[in-house]
Every structure is written in C-alpha cells, then in structure tokens.
Structure 1
C-alpha cells in the first residue's frame, strides 16, 4: 500500500481536470466526441502516465517443468483453449504489467488484471476484422483500469470489456473462459502446460505493492456508492453476467448450483493483495465456474464495490 499511497499526493486535483478538454492534450488521436462516459469526474489519473505500467506483448512461454520460483499457492490466470496447451499467466507478473497481449492457437487474446478491483479477465482481441493491441492508459474509472488500443487509441473499461471513449465506444470484447487458481493446481492438472516466463523488466516480481489492500475498509480511489445488503466493499464476489455471489457464501458451501451455473471453491490460493510477498498472502481459495454441461464460463472474481459500480442493477445471489 505504501507504493500506491505514494501516488496519492498527485491525485486529488485530478478529478477537477477530468474532462475531455484536459485529456485531449495527452490523447490527441482519441475521438472524445464519441463516448459513453456521462460524468467525467469519474475518470481520474491513477498516477502513472500512459504506458507507465507497461503492458506486455508476445510473452515468452516455457514448459511448466522449466519455471522456477513460483510457490504452489501463488495465483495464476489459467487459460485453456481447445486443442492448445493450457497456459498460466502468473499474477506476480500481471501485478506490474496488468495486460498481456498474446496469441493462443491463432486466437489473439488480452489477459488482464486490475489489482484495485481484483478483476482478472481474458478477452479476444479481434474486433471488426482488426486485431487490437492493448495498453494501460494510466486512467481509472470507479477504481478500475481503463485500457486503450493502439490502433484507434480508444479507451476501454477493463471490468466490462467495453469501449467507453473514441471510435470503439460501445463495442464489447468477447470474454473467454479463464480463471485464477493456485500454481500447484494448474501444474497438477496440466503437466504438459505452458507458463509465462519472467519478463525482461526491472520489477520486484513476487512482491505486492498493494499490501493490506483487500482487508481495507474502503476501496482506494473510489467515491461511488458502496454495495448493498451490508456486504463489505472489498469482499470478493463471483460475477457471472450481471449476477454476483459473495465469496463468503461460496467458501462456506463449497459449491453452489443455481441460475444455470455451477460454482466451486477450493482452498489453496494466496491473496495477491494481502501480504508484502504474494506467496505469504492469506488463503482466499480458487473458484471455477461451469455451466450445466461442465463447460467453463467467462466470469470474474472481483471486489463487491466494483460489481455495484458497473452493475448497479445487478442481482446479488445471497442464498437467503
């Protein structure tokens, strides 16, 4: 958290400048005349400038047996595309890069992680016959990362996978089934799988710059409404479409079958947003979401405040 809080001193004046006229100086190629943003005060600087958090493209992948240094309980984003070796993208790298542009079996994908919302989503990068490459804008809305594509310099809201400013406003990226699980479980299930190798960047991989964040009472850089039903704003929820299941309910029941989905929980995954070293984080468990036929479904495990911000009319699956 000290790393994040160090940015805060330059942020409080940002909201006053958060209007199209101000951002045009930084983004001259972005069409601000086309946008779904109703209140520009929601858009603020996250501190680092455009590409200050460097997204990665074409990562080096190695066999799981060749990667050293990952603890069994460390979280990875698992991506399994039929006919291809399963791939793991360690959160220890995504914490510092937030987006990985990759190609898996001819499918161009963007693997994304927003630490402030705990949102980990994978998208197909193909839009209207074009393949987009995504970067980190340095802007936040409802504490969620705003991505941008390098082809049109449109802005995209990571949590919903939708263009919000520029030529691509209103365009929705196709979400692919992926999930966060512990490294040990991924390797046990995929002994012939691949894992992203450590990037050639000077970052303290394995450390958590957001120490203690997911046990905070309030989210960082968020001024919107808190979630209803007395749900803690930083409670993890499992979002499938516009429904959200609180993590404490799932952890208590182990498995939930309702609304056409089967959600399971298994202990063993360290929180990436707790201890100073990710592997030392408390156990928050791994979640898998499937349909009635056992097929993996696109979903997110995000903080409750973010779900409420982007799905204010969403359905809370409280089980009572």
Structure 2
C-alpha cells in the first residue's frame, strides 16, 4: 500500500517501489507504534486478531481516498483504456453490467457504489491482487468504507465510517472494533480484459475517472508480481514449493493455480467449473498497466452456469488467510 494521494507524490512512490526490490521496506515502513492513534471511535477491546500482526502501510487513515460518489459512462464512449487492461466486472441480475477499471483502484482501492438498490463496496488490494465485491449492509445497516492505511499479511485493512471498525479486505471479516467477528456478504465478480467486457456488454457501463485530469493508468508497483517476496509480509511461504507471487483462483477455502488452468483451459471438479477466459494484462507488471504482461483470466461458475464468488489472489495471501485450505494442484 503506497501513498497514492496526488500527482505530486511520484518520487515517494518510486522510492517505495525501489525499497521493495532492495528488501528494505520492512525498515522503511516498520510497524507503527501509534497504531491506535487517530481512531477514537474504534473499540479496541474487541478484536479477533493479534494487533501485532497489523502494520502501517505508509499513508494514514484515508491517505488513499476511497471513491464515494462514482459516475459511469457508456462503454461506447470510453476511449482511455487499453484493450488488455484489467477491469473488475459486476453483473447483478436485472442490472446493466458494470466494469471497474483496475487503473482507478491503484489510486483509490475502494469504490462505494449502489447497483439496483444494493449498496456495494468494490475493492482491490494491489499487494495481494485481491479483487472482491461486498454488500455493504450489516444487520440492516448500510456501511461506507474507507482505507485505514494499515495492512495485515500485506492485505488492505478497510474501515467502516459508521463505527470505525477495521475489516480484512481479502476475506471481508471485521477484525477490530464493534463489528469484530462479523462478515460481509460477498457478491460474484471477476477480473477480465476491457476488450472482453465491452465485446460482451456493448451497452454496459464503465466507471469514469474519479478525479478529472489525474494521470490514471500508471502502475507504481512496477514488477511487483514477479518480485522475490511480498511487501511487508513475514508469514510462512505457501506449501508445495509454490511461488508466493503466483496467482491462484480461490473458491471458498480451495485454490487452483492459474497456471494449471492455462494448461488445461477448463477444470470441472469439487462442484466448480473454471473456464479459461482469454488474456488480460497484469496491473502489477510494467509502468503502464495497458502494457503489462499477459496473466490470463478465468470465469468461475457452478455446474448450472451460475457465477460463483471467487478471487484471483497471490499464493502467499491465500496461504495466509486460508492456512488449512485445500490446494487443487492437479
């Protein structure tokens, strides 16, 4: 998590990326000794995790600004995206499909939206490659989410503005505060190329640039997904000799390596059907997202063709949050 708050911080972002490569990030962004500072509404007596696992990611609370009033344009009018650029797709029954370009999440990480009366939080954590969409209602109360500036196992810690409880983005679980132990409902979504989305949905909607004139489309985490180790992660590596930065398709507590799907093109097992969905650019490779190397896309459905909740995350993150999970290696 880097401090992406204005166009003037490019040098800070660059130095932080260099720190990753040099293995100095743990020194540069050591655990914040004032973890509770600035959180007067958070009930720290209620936790489900060890607070020592939570670290400052660099920027403070709302240093990475979530999007609260998103606007959209029609697919046919969007001309800023590269064909292979990744988007996070949400297609709710009876609603116009929406594409959320990952280029915007490199700056904002969370979009609070409403689709057909359903309040949703569309989220992406670059450090874990985790893109997840949540229903923002908990116990009948609609929450809005911001970026806390903290990390746990290298994954974004979100917070709700109503109680300032902290939530783990990769799993949608409250970990600190009034909502500790509660879970957000996850909605089906998937990552695919902009070309694939607009071909399938010529009348669809795409998120408009949240900040007019901001230089979206660049990647501050150059070559991150081929780095030797994750950022600010000191947990154990995944088993079976799997590269910590390899992408895996998580459905429930089971994970399939993306490379297996690339070879086989279709996998049907454990009640899940994984289908190869063509190429898309990595958002975490080259300086310009549109030029990132191809990493592939997947559609995840059940035997009746219904879309299933899933995530395509780095192997280290899956292992961290699902330590007893099942690896579907072959």
TM-score category (smaller protein)? over 0.9
Q: Which runs of 4+ in 1 moved over 4 A?
A: 6-11, 13-18
Correspondent of 2:190 among 152, 172, 179:
179
Give the TM-score, by structure 2 length. 0.92
| Contact 1:15–1:42 (Cα < 8 Å) also in 2 | no
Matched, 1:26 2:38: yes
Task: Report the counterpart of residue 63 of structure 1 in structure 2.
Answer: 74
Return the alpha-carbon distance in structure 2 between the equivalents of residues 253 and 44 of structure 1: 39
Return the alpha-carbon distance in structure 1 between the equivalents of residues 15 and 258 of structure 2: 27
Correspondent of 2:134 among 110, 123, 127:
123
Correspondent of 2:168 among 157, 166, 174:
157
Return the alpha-carbon distance in structure 2 between the equivalents of residues 24 and 283 of structure 1: 41
Q: Within 5 Å, which residues of 2 pair with 1:177-216?
A: 177-200=188-211, 203-216=214-227
| Contact 1:267–1:284 (Cα < 8 Å) also in 2 | no
For each residue in 1:212-268, what CA deviation from the matched residue of structure 2 results, as whole angstroms up to 9, or x when unmatched? 000111111100000000000000000000000011111111111000000111332
Q: Within 5 Å, which residues of 2 pair with 1:1-320?
A: 2=14, 4-5=16-17, 12=27, 15=30, 17=32, 22-38=34-50, 40-200=51-211, 203-319=214-330
Distance change >3 Å, CA 168–CA 202, structure 1 → 2: farther
The alignment's C-alpha RMSD in Å is 1.6
Return the alpha-carbon distance in structure 2 between the equivalents of residues 202 and 185 of structure 1: 26
Return the alpha-carbon distance in structure 1 between the equivalents of residues 15 and 130 of structure 2: 20
CA apart distance, 1:10: 8.1
Return the alpha-carbon distance in structure 2 between the equivalents of residues 230 and 23 of structure 1: 34
For each residue in 1:175-231, what CA deviation from the matched residue of structure 2 results, as whole angstroms up to 9, or x when unmatched? 000000000110011111000011126642110000000011111110000000000
Return the alpha-carbon distance in structure 1 between the equivalents of residues 67 and 16 of structure 2: 21
Bigger shift: residues 194-203 or 251-260: 194-203
Return the alpha-carbon distance in structure 2 between the equivalents of residues 12 and 163 of structure 1: 28
Unaligned runs of 5+ in 1: none
Count of residues paired in the alignment: 315
CA apart distance, 1:42: 1.4
Return the alpha-carbon distance in structure 1 between the equivalents of residues 193 and 25 of structure 2: 36
Return the alpha-carbon distance in structure 2 between the equivalents of residues 95 and 27 of structure 1: 25
Distance change >3 Å, CA 279–CA 107, structure 1 → 2: same
Return the alpha-carbon distance in structure 2 between the equivalents of residues 16 and 259 of structure 1: 40
Unaligned runs of 5+ in 2: 1-12
Distance change >3 Å, CA 67–CA 220, structure 1 → 2: same
CA apart distance, 1:14: 5.9
* 1:306 aligned counterpart, secondary structure: helix
For each residue in 1:7-35, what CA deviation from the matched residue of structure 2 results, as whole angstroms up to 9, or x when unmatched? 777863765545xxx32222111000000
Return the alpha-carbon distance in structure 2 between the equivalents of residues 231 and 55 of structure 1: 33
Return the alpha-carbon distance in structure 2 between the equivalents of residues 16 and 267 of structure 1: 40
Return the alpha-carbon distance in structure 2 between the equivalents of residues 309 and 189 of structure 1: 35
CA apart distance, 1:129: 1.0
CA apart distance, 1:88: 0.3
| Contact 2:281–2:289 (Cα < 8 Å) also in 1 | yes
